[in-house]
Amino acid sequence: MPDVFADLVGQDEAVAELRRAAGAAAAVLAAGAADRAPALVAVGLPGEAASKAGDAGPGVLDPSTGMTHAWIFTGPPGSGRSVAARAFAAALQCTYGTGCGECPGCHTTMGGTNADVRLVVPEGLSIGVGEMRALVLRAASTPSGGRWQVVVIEDADRLTEAAGNALLKAIEEPPPRTVFLLCAPSTHPDDISVTIRSRCRVVPLRQPPATAVAEVLVRRDGIAPDVAQWAASAAQGHVGRARRLARDPEARKRREAVLAVPRRLTGVGAAFDAASALIEAAEAEAEASVAEADTAERAALETALGAGGTGRGAAGAIRGAAGQLKELERRQKSRATRAQRDALDRALVDLAGFYRDALTMALRAPVDAVHTDTAALAAAGAQKWDAEGSLRRLEAVLACRAAIEANVKPRIAVEAMMLALWKD
């Protein structure tokens, strides 16, 4: 396995900072071992840790050094927030260096089996307080591998207020060997509370350049260079999306259908039809993506409950079973809603790319087209709408995304957008 940071595309600065931190964290462990003190002491950069050890109380990582207890990884979707958090978790568990990729610590963390690394991946629209309290409690225990307890929270912007408060308490008084890694789109108060933000070090990730994305698709996934280049550009810096476009014919078909929208908008009726088609395609895509997990979960739960029989306590067990099934259905519904919104958002990002191409062409800006395969269509649009009309259309797509994010019903937001795209 290569270095644990190898998949973090185009983020050299962030990787350098995380390596420094992992080095400082290793020095803390080394200093602790030298002092025979189990608790954490103050930390310096590698090499100077021993001299600084003891400056701060146990459990306090000196924030002026490379390492601290709580981190937030921010960046646009697909920039690699969760990839960065997982790689950093591996670097903290690395036995030989700062994420060598070879040792058991690196291997188990990257493989998702390290007992001291907990990963929270929300499936629904929010992370609840119950889940967070249980997590915080477990994170306070002594790391079994003798290094760090690491908690990775993907999509920390989906924490409920109560869950955020439970997390904040843990971050304010961190157990000596516990590290929290949060991932969120930004540090805007809508994404992460100001108080949590103030306790964390922020690692901003940028949208990786298309050439860097293409390079990783070729190297890691064995994708042909020309396909990789096209997919990287079409995915607008989203690494996972680029890989899907390069590999999955269904994903390419869905993208083509979305990019056919602009030329289909010939009247009011066509605009409403296009809105319906977009919504239904997102629903179908989401349904396909969650169907397998739904069925498996339900079967597992029914098997577990089916052992009830007719003995003593069976009636109580059945009442309990109904509750558990209801809870499962609630979770599955929430996950399906999220999947639908994600699918629709991907479609809107593709569409925004098209109008961005039209805009840059109208302005004769010397930049590459996002969608090389619809460049001719975008050029025709640029002629017809000019820069002003192209910009208005691009803004209509972005406004639709914002409206859905703000909980406007997707169909209403998409219909409004289609009408705006159609109008002269």
The minimum distance between CB 7 and Zn ion, in angstroms, equals 15
The minimum distance between CB 116 and Zn ion, in angstroms, equals 14
The minimum distance between CB 4 and Zn ion, in angstroms, equals 7
Interatomic CA distance for residues 300 and 311, integer angstroms: 22
Helices 268-306 and 249-259 meet at what angle, rounded to 10?
Answer: 150
Closest by CA to 78, choosing from 245, 255, 207, 216, is 207
The contact set with Zn ion (CB under 5 A) reads: 94, 100, 103, 106
Phi, psi for residue 357 in degrees, rounded to 5: -60, -45
Task: Tell me the residue length of the chain.
Answer: 424
Interatomic CA distance for residues 265 and 419, integer angstroms: 9
The minimum distance between CB 96 and Zn ion, in angstroms, equals 5
- Looking only at the bridges linking them, the beta strands covering 149-153 and 178-184 are parallel
- Degrees (nearest 5) of the Cα angle 217, 222, 225? 65
The minimum distance between CB 107 and Zn ion, in angstroms, equals 8
Nearer to Zn ion, 68 or 114 (CB): 114
Asked if 120 and 154 touch (Cβ cutoff 8 Å), the reply is yes
The minimum distance between CB 33 and Zn ion, in angstroms, equals 18
Q: How many CB atoms lie within 10 A of CB 176?
A: 22
Nearer to Zn ion, 3 or 285 (CB): 3
Nearer to Zn ion, 106 or 214 (CB): 106
Interatomic CA distance for residues 21 and 41, integer angstroms: 15
Interatomic CA distance for residues 338 and 341, integer angstroms: 5
Nearer to Zn ion, 86 or 199 (CB): 86
Asked if 275 and 411 touch (Cβ cutoff 8 Å), the reply is yes
State which H helix or E strand residue 153 sits in: strand 149-153
Interatomic CA distance for residues 313 and 308, integer angstroms: 9
Nearer to Zn ion, 81 or 107 (CB): 107
Nearer to Zn ion, 92 or 120 (CB): 92
Nearer to Zn ion, 14 or 100 (CB): 100
Residue the block writes with tokens 């600084």: 52
The minimum distance between CB 113 and Zn ion, in angstroms, equals 15
The minimum distance between CB 189 and Zn ion, in angstroms, equals 37
Interatomic CA distance for residues 357 and 372, integer angstroms: 9
Nearer to Zn ion, 94 or 394 (CB): 94
Asked if 256 and 264 touch (Cβ cutoff 8 Å), the reply is no
Asked if 190 and 157 touch (Cβ cutoff 8 Å), the reply is yes
Query: 366 to each of 293, 360, 363, 371, 424, how far by Cα in Å?
Result: 46, 8, 9, 15, 26
The minimum distance between CB 119 and Zn ion, in angstroms, equals 18
Nearer to Zn ion, 94 or 184 (CB): 94
